[in-house]
Amino acid sequence: MALPHHYRTPSCHHSWTPSLYKYHPITTLQYPLHPPPSSFIFFFNLLLLLLHLHTHTFLKSFHMGHSDIVLRFLMFFVFKGVYGATTFTFSNKCDYTVWPGILGTPALDTTGFELPEGKSRSLQAPVGWSGRFWGRTRCNFDGLGHGSCVTGDCGSGQMECNGAGATPPATLAEFTLGSGTQDFYDVSLVDGYNLQMIVEASGGSGECGTTGCIDDLNRRCPSELKVADGGGCKSACDTFGTPEFCCKGAFDSPAACRPTAYSEVFKSACPKSYSYAYDDATSTFTCMGATDYVIIFCPTRSIGSIKSKAGNVSQDSLDALLDLYAHLASGDSSSNIKCPYLLNFVIFTLYVIIFLVQTLFSIK
């Protein structure tokens, strides 16, 4: 599952190593029923592949045009089922450039890149991948990729983080991809907050909820946690460094480390995100067999237009409206595909139809 927060502290995130990843039981979560075994999915998709190879021979003979495009599109789903790769898609809805940072094992194609406003980029991750993503902002890199960022900087002095983690405060998306088992993921504010971010899962079964922080914590950050010049909102642990805020020493257990007034500020703004180290029960999410996770930066840029059109609405009413919007957006997703096996059946049916039609044409 995603890295347990009590195995790390904000001060050591920049030197985090993948070996710190480990599983720990979460008895308060209700796990969904297990879907059919992965061997079933493998042979089912293998059957689809054989059908494709057969029908593709007819396509070459009868030049059925667009059917070949359809089959190639469907084959995307087949190979996803056979090889088990997961796609991470990064989408920037901010009105400024974001530089995603990546730390995990095994290494992906990149450990950091530029993502301009309105753009998206996808990366493939193998089964069993564990790691985290975050957004760096207000960066300045030269033509050789050398430079730094005001928030979320990884300290590498380059656009590529090269095995270094985010300097707090930083909003983190954490993942551990299962091998024939559930994926675990979360959005964490344990290291503080620097920008809005949510995670959406698709193509999986089970809970597969949307999580993240859609509220702008900078507007409600306690003054003692604020970073100058809009540099984010630090955690109480990073600010004060005491065992009670960092869940260290005598406080290193779920029973001893409890929510604080500061973590409650984070939790009220972002109820689905980790607000302190042992905030597992409401903050860890699971999904079985998801094919794509979308990490969205600034998912609510439209909030600015809401404010501009609010007119004479009181600030309290406007805040209540935005809070409701934030809770809805960071709550459970209802748009995910809850039964990917139904999708496989539909794909199989399409293959059979194409096969029969092409066979009839061949007879004539």
Give me the CATH number covering residue 103: 2.60.110.10
Q: What is the pLDDT of residue 228?
A: 86
- Cα separation, 192 vs 170, in Å, equals 5
Does 350 lie in the same domain as 245?
Answer: no
In the beta sheet, which residues pair with residue 188? Answer: 172, 274
Q: What is the pLDDT of residue 330?
A: 45
What pTM was estimated for this model as a whole? 0.66
> Percent of the chain scored above 70 by pLDDT?
60
Please give the average per-residue pLDDT across 3-8, as a whole number.
Answer: 40
Higher per-residue confidence, 18 vs 246: 246
Q: What is the pLDDT of residue 3?
A: 45
Does 147 lie in the same domain as 48?
Answer: no
Does 261 lie in the same domain as 202?
Answer: yes
Does 18 lie in the same domain as 105?
Answer: yes
| Count of alpha carbons within 13 angstroms of residue 267, beta-carbon side | 17
11 pLDDT tier (thresholds 50, 70, 90)? very low
Please give the average per-residue pLDDT across 145-151, as a whole number.
Answer: 96
Could you give the C-alpha distances from 96 to 21, 209, 216, 299, 352, in angstroms and in order?
A: 33, 27, 15, 13, 47
Q: What is the pLDDT of residue 352?
A: 67
Does 356 lie in the same domain as 310?
Answer: no
Q: What is the pLDDT of residue 172?
A: 98
- Checking DSSP bridges between strand 211-213 and strand 182-188, what pairing results, if any? unpaired
The mean pLDDT value of the chain amounts to 75
Does 285 lie in the same domain as 271?
Answer: yes
DSSP state of 146: B
Least confident of 132-146, 226-240, 332-346: 332-346
Does 91 lie in the same domain as 73?
Answer: no
pLDDT at 47 > cutoff 80? no
Ordered alpha helix ranges (H), 217-314: 236-240, 243-246, 261-269, 303-308
66: containing domain: 40-83+339-364
Please give the average per-residue pLDDT across 30-38, as a whole number.
Answer: 34
Phi, psi (deg, nearest 5) at residue 95 = -95, 30
Does 197 lie in the same domain as 180?
Answer: yes
301 pLDDT tier (thresholds 50, 70, 90)? low
Does 110 lie in the same domain as 60?
Answer: no
Does 290 lie in the same domain as 153?
Answer: yes
pLDDT at 262 > cutoff 60? yes
Could you give the C-alpha distances from 92 to 58, 121, 298, in angstroms and in order?
A: 43, 9, 7
> Percent of the chain scored above 90 by pLDDT?
55
Give per-residue pLDDT as tens, 171-188. 999 999 998 789 999 999
- Cα separation, 72 vs 347, in Å, equals 12
Does 163 lie in the same domain as 287?
Answer: yes
243 pLDDT tier (thresholds 50, 70, 90)? very high
Q: How many domains does the chain have?
A: 2
Q: Which DSSP string do the residues of 8-45 spell out, in sequence order?
A: --GGGGGG--GGG------TT--PPPP-S-HHHHHHHH
Give per-residue pLDDT as tens, 275-288. 999 998 899 999 99
Does 220 lie in the same domain as 256?
Answer: yes
For residue 220, give the nearest of 81, 319, 301 by alpha carbon.
319
Please give the average per-residue pLDDT across 9-25, as a whole number.
Answer: 33
